[in-house]
């Protein structure tokens, strides 16, 4: 874990900072269509992500720099502030999720080669691919899965 990084449970008060990180990170993913207003995204973060997932928040020097959102074995979201990427925070959030669940699966856009290779380095394997008909962005995606050793997913 990067020095000074703290990972804690997320709560309703985090909706604003998590929305800013989500929007900032997705602005760096030019292949994504813009489907929702920022206000809709803020509502979704508070009422869907924070209300319905186990959310973990990474903080450095008292500032929120990333988060993960998990629903059972589905790792639904992993985002790091673009200004803080490449410093091990995404890896720390992923390791934190792997400590909390015996197995995980996730969907990642096929165009997101950096994230696919990050997940591979953390033991995830590709178990499926789609042409985009199963996500609202309509983009080809990859399904990946990881299990702690000795655990059958």
Ligand X SMILES: CC(C)(COP(=O)(O)OP(=O)(O)OC[C@H]1O[C@@H](n2cnc3c(N)ncnc32)[C@H](O)[C@@H]1OP(=O)(O)O)[C@@H](O)C(=O)NCCC(=O)NCCS
* Binding residues vs ligand X (CB under 6 A): 2, 25, 78-80, 85-91, 106, 108, 112, 114-115, 117-118
Q: Which is nearer to ligand X, 33 or 150 (CB)?
A: 33
Q: Which is nearer to ligand X, 78 or 147 (CB)?
A: 78
CB of 50 to ligand X, least distance (A): 17
The two tokens of residue 28 are 């760096």
CB of 150 to ligand X, least distance (A): 25
Burial of 116 (0-12, 13-18, 19+ CB in 10 A): middle
CB of 137 to ligand X, least distance (A): 12
Q: Which is nearer to ligand X, 18 or 147 (CB)?
A: 18
Dmax of the chain from CA atoms? 44
Closest residue to ligand X in the complex (CB): 90
Q: Which is nearer to ligand X, 47 or 117 (CB)?
A: 117
Q: Determine how many CB atoms are found less than 10 A away from the CB of residue 21.
A: 24
Written as one string, the DSSP assignment of 37-69 is -HHHHHHHIIIIIHHHSEEEEEEETTEEEEEEE
């Amino acid at each position: 874990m990067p020095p000074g990084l703290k990972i804690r449970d997320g709560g309703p008060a985090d909706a604003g900072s998590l929305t800013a990180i989500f929007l900032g990170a997705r602005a760096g993913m030019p292949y994504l269509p813009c489907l929702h207003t920022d206000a809709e995204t803020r509502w979704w973060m508070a009422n869907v992500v924070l209300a319905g997932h186990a959310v973990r928040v990474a903080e450095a020097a008292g500032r929120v720099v990333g988060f993960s959102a998990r629903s059972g074995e589905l790792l639904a979201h992993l985002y790091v502030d673009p200004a803080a990427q490449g410093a091990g925070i995404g890896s720390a959030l992923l390791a934190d999720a792997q400590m909390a669940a015996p197995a995980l699966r996730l969907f990642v856009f096929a165009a997101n080669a950096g994230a696919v290779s990050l997940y591979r380095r953390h033991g995830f394997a590709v178990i499926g691919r789609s042409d985009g008909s199963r996500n609202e962005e309509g983009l080809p995606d990859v399904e990946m899965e990881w299990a702690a050793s000795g655990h059958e997913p």
